[in-house]
């Protein structure tokens, strides 16, 4: 893809995000598009949103499971950006009419007390830069007409970043093995999934470290005060009708969200 094509794709994705009108998949239009080109489109999309007045407040990590990476033809997680307009206060109803093919995932969210910049970031450095962790829900969307076929579809669409609900309890990471944090997810009071921190790259702090190293390729860093939703502890669930979800995390508290028409 050339610069003009990538800029046009970024504009179309942004318009699809605003209007909730899906567009033809990137990989259908450009079958040979690379992961690097998809990230270039994502960065152009980010610049468009920044120019419109939105602010980056966090980042997201996806495809942490090896099976999902193999399915989409990549050998590392994918990343995206969370803007201030995506943060949903816990307790505020979420309208399904404003979402595009939403899925929900319970995740461990890291809040940074200092800047974290790669390359060379590891688990120890990621934890040292962390003020604490929160329970969180990620609401991901898809602005393309079909389900994502290859990684560039998701990456170009800001890795599906759509909404985030943060729990109210910030827990310091000192003395906690995040790999062993258990999670129980219920829908309308019925348990539908369980998980543990180790489901995210063996340690969710490893996902944060990998993100910092990836951002360094674009001369970017994870800023002080930003939050990172580190990856799902379970298989994602499509949200197709009004319902409520609650995720209870061992030692970290809980987070809940209610979807309405």
Q: Where are the domains of the chain?
A: 3-260
Task: Tell me: pLDDT of 67 over 70.
Answer: no
* CA 166/CA 169 separation, integer angstroms: 9
Task: Tell me: pLDDT of 73 over 80.
Answer: no
Angle, CA 125 vertex, CA 121 and CA 130 arms, to 5°: 120
pLDDT at 72: 75
Alpha helices in the chain (DSSP H): 3-19, 26-29, 35-51, 66-72, 123-128, 151-156, 204-216
Query: Could you count the other beta carbons within 10 Å of the beta carbon of residue 251?
Result: 13
**Mean pLDDT value of segment 71-75:** 75
The tokens for 232 are 């799902």
Q: Across the strands, what pairs with 111?
A: 132, 227
The tokens for 153 are 């579809």
| pTM of this structure | 0.93
**Mean pLDDT value of segment 115-140:** 97
Confidence tier at 147 by pLDDT (50, 70, 90): confident
Task: Tell me: pLDDT of 203 over 80.
Answer: yes
What is the strand order of the sheet 243-249 is part of? 94-95, 253-260, 243-249, 182-187, 190-196
**What is the per-residue pLDDT across 215-258, written as a single tens digit (0 to 9) for each?**
999 899 999 999 999 999 998 999 999 999 999 999 999 999 99
Lowest-pLDDT range of 60-64, 139-143, 146-150: 146-150
CA distance to 82, 89, 240, 254, per residue, from 243 (Å)? 24, 17, 9, 17
Fold of 3-260: Fumarylacetoacetate hydrolase; domain 2 (3.90.850)
pLDDT at 74: 76
pLDDT at 209: 96
Task: Tell me: pLDDT of 70 over 80.
Answer: no
Task: Tell me: pLDDT of 120 over 90.
Answer: yes
Task: Tell me: pLDDT of 77 over 90.
Answer: no
**What is the per-residue pLDDT across 80-96, written as a single tens digit (0 to 9) for each?**
999 999 999 999 999 99
CA distance to 12, 80, 128, 146, 260, per residue, from 166 (Å)? 29, 17, 21, 29, 18
Helix and strand numbers (H, E) in the chain are: 7, 13
CB 151 within 8 A of CB 70: no
């Amino acid at each position: 893809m050339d610069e003009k094509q990538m800029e046009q794709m970024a504009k179309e994705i942004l318009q699809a995000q605003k209007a909730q009108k899906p567009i033809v998949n990137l990989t259908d239009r450009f079958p040979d598009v690379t992961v690097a080109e998809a990230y270039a489109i994502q960065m152009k999309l980010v610049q468009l949103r920044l120019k419109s007045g939105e602010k980056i407040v966090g980042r997201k990590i996806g495809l942490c499971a090896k099976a999902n990476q193999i399915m989409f033809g990549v050998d590392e997680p994918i990343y995206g950006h969370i803007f201030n307009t995506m943060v949903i206060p816990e307790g505020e109803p979420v309208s399904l009419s404003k979402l595009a093919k939403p899925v929900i995932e319970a995740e461990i969210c890291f809040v940074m007390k200092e800047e974290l910049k790669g390359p060379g970031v590891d688990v120890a450095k990621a934890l040292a830069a962390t003020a604490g962790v929160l329970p969180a829900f990620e609401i991901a969307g898809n602005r393309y007409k079909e389900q994502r076929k290859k990684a560039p579809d998701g990456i170009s669409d800001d890795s599906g970043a759509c909404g985030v609900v943060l729990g109210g309890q910030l827990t310091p990471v000192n003395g906690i093995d995040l790999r062993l944090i258990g999670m129980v997810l219920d829908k309308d009071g019925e348990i539908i999934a369980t998980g543990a921190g180790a489901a995210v790259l063996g340690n969710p702090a490893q996902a944060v470290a990998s993100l910092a190293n990836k951002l360094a390729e674009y001369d970017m860093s994870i800023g002080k005060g930003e939050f990172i939703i580190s990856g799902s502890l379970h298989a994602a669930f499509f949200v197709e009708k009004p319902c409520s979800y609650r995720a209870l995390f061992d030692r970290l508290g809980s987070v809940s969200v209610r979807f309405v028409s």
